[in-house]
């Protein structure tokens, strides 16, 4: 068993794709890519805030309205008629006065036009307030009644709790996703890859018990998955921190207690075995590495849905949900980061994933014992 496990580890270390995905991709590509995306988002926001846009004005020659539009970096253009079914290329919104109503035409499918509408709304609201103040002053009434009281929100959450709330929305999702992705190349290479290299037949002929072969492959892949996922998550978080406001992480200090990290890693162990067994089973059924990749693609699509569902903040993690595979670990990660450990949920998730790992490992062993599947041509 030890020799088989050592053989699997050596083959994984020789695989450049696994090494690239484990070390190069998380610490070089993810931070650089996300930092670039954050820079693009910041530049786009700055450009939008400074840029002026033209708006059409029909039957509305009010100097107060025109002045308010200019204060919002909007250039009013006096026109004779309202637009038809679409806006002209150079004009992003139209204001048309009809009696006591101002109609604002904009293109809801155009992001710039929607932004210009928000500027127009601010300008018109300011004009409306100024006119109310003017009327009240003319009749000698106190204008303070326009704002009978002030609303001042007071956030009781500490910065640590705010940071944990933001982190919980992404960390659980990333951790579960990378547990799937981390060992995928290793799983496919140690099964379908060995079929292509014609070394799997030799290995099965030399080893008396196929159970040892399956256990070695599953342990090797689960080890890679278990070690790769935290590294990938760390690289992604570093990139998001550099991106700053583009990912709502600017100025926030993230502190995760070591106890929480330990509980998350412990919970990841049986899930990593479950995922490794599933990926090894898929690889054993495929005839080539490329065919195995086509089988894995639908698996990832099916896995993303429960992961995203578990990251939604308004869903409550209840007792029976610990039995739902994939969803349970994502929801438990979120609960750990937001509220702390709930032992009934944590132990239920751990034991259910342990059971699923044993079932999937047994299914993988069953596939390896069928020569019509292992040696399928």
Q: What is the CATH number of the domain that holds 66?
A: 3.40.120
Do residues 120 and 26 share a domain? no
For the cut 50, the answer to whether the pLDDT of residue 221 exceeds it is: yes
Do residues 219 and 355 share a domain? yes
For residue 300, name the pLDDT band (cuts at 50, 70, 90).
confident
Share of the chain above pLDDT 90, in %: 10
Domain count, the chain: 2
Is there a domain that residue 132 lies in? Answer: yes
Write down the pLDDT at residue 47.
74
C-alpha dihedral sign at 117, 123, 127, 133: positive
CA distance 234 to 31: 10
Write down the pLDDT at residue 270.
94
For residue 250, name the pLDDT band (cuts at 50, 70, 90).
very low
Do residues 255 and 113 share a domain? no
Instruction: Give the C-alpha distances (Å, rounded to integers) separating 15 from 113, 229, 376.
Output: 51, 18, 24
What mean pLDDT do residues 168-185 have?
Answer: 81
Is there a domain that residue 42 lies in? Answer: no
Is there a domain that residue 154 lies in? Answer: no
For the cut 90, the answer to whether the pLDDT of residue 206 exceeds it is: no
Is there a domain that residue 186 lies in? Answer: yes
Do residues 217 and 283 share a domain? yes
If we measure between CA atoms, which residue out of 265, 38, 252 comes closest to residue 159? Answer: 252
Do residues 102 and 185 share a domain? no
Do residues 106 and 229 share a domain? no
Write down the pLDDT at residue 202.
67
CA distance 234 to 97: 55
Domain that holds residue 103: 53-146
Instruction: Give the C-alpha distances (Å, rounded to integers) separating 348 from 13, 214, 273.
Output: 35, 27, 17
For the cut 90, the answer to whether the pLDDT of residue 81 exceeds it is: no
What mean pLDDT do residues 226-246 have?
Answer: 72
Do residues 257 and 175 share a domain? yes
Do residues 240 and 337 share a domain? yes
Write down the pLDDT at residue 196.
74
Enter the pTM of the model.
0.71
Phi, psi of 238 (to 5 degrees): -60, -40
The mean predicted confidence, pLDDT, of the chain is 80
């Amino acid at each position: 068993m030890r020799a088989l496990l050592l053989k699997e580890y050596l083959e994984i270390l020789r695989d450049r794709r696994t090494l690239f995905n484990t070390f190069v991709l998380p610490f070089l590509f993810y931070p650089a890519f996300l930092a670039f995306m954050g820079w693009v988002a910041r530049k786009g926001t700055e450009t939008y805030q400074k840029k002026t846009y033209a708006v059409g004005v029909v039957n509305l020659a009010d100097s107060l309205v025109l002045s308010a539009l200019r204060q919002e970096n909007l250039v009013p253009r006096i026109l004779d008629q309202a637009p038809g079914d679409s806006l002209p290329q150079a004009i992003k919104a139209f204001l048309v006065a009809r009696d006591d109503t101002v109609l604002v035409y904009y293109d809801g499918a155009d992001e710039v036009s929607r932004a210009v509408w928000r500027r127009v709304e601010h300008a018109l609201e300011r004009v409306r307030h100024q006119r109310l103040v003017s009327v009240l002053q003319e009749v000698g009434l106190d204008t303070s009644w326009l704002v009978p009281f002030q609303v001042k929100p007071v956030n009781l959450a500490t910065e640590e709790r705010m940071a944990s709330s933001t982190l919980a929305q992404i960390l659980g999702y990333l951790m579960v996703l990378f547990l799937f992705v981390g060992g995928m190349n290793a799983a496919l290479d140690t099964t379908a890859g060995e079929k292509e290299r014609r070394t799997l037949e030799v290995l099965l002929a030399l080893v008396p018990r196929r159970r040892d072969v399956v256990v070695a492959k599953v342990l090797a892949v689960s080890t890679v998955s278990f070690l790769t996922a935290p590294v990938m998550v760390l690289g992604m978080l570093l990139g998001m921190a550099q991106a700053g406001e583009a990912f709502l992480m600017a100025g926030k200090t993230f502190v995760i207690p070591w106890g929480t990290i330990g509980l998350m890693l412990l919970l990841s162990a049986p899930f990593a075995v479950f995922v490794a067994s599933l990926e090894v089973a898929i690889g054993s059924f495929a005839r080539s590495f490329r065919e195995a990749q086509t089988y894995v693609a639908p698996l990832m699509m099916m896995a993303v849905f429960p992961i995203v569902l578990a990251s939604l903040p308004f869903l409550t993690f209840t007792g029976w949900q610990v039995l739902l595979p994939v969803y349970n670990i994502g929801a438990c990660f979120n609960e750990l980061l937001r509220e702390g450990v709930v032992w009934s949920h944590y132990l239920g998730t751990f034991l259910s994933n342990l059971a699923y790992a044993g079932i999937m490992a047994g299914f993988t062993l069953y596939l390896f014992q069928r020569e019509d599947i292992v040696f399928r041509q």
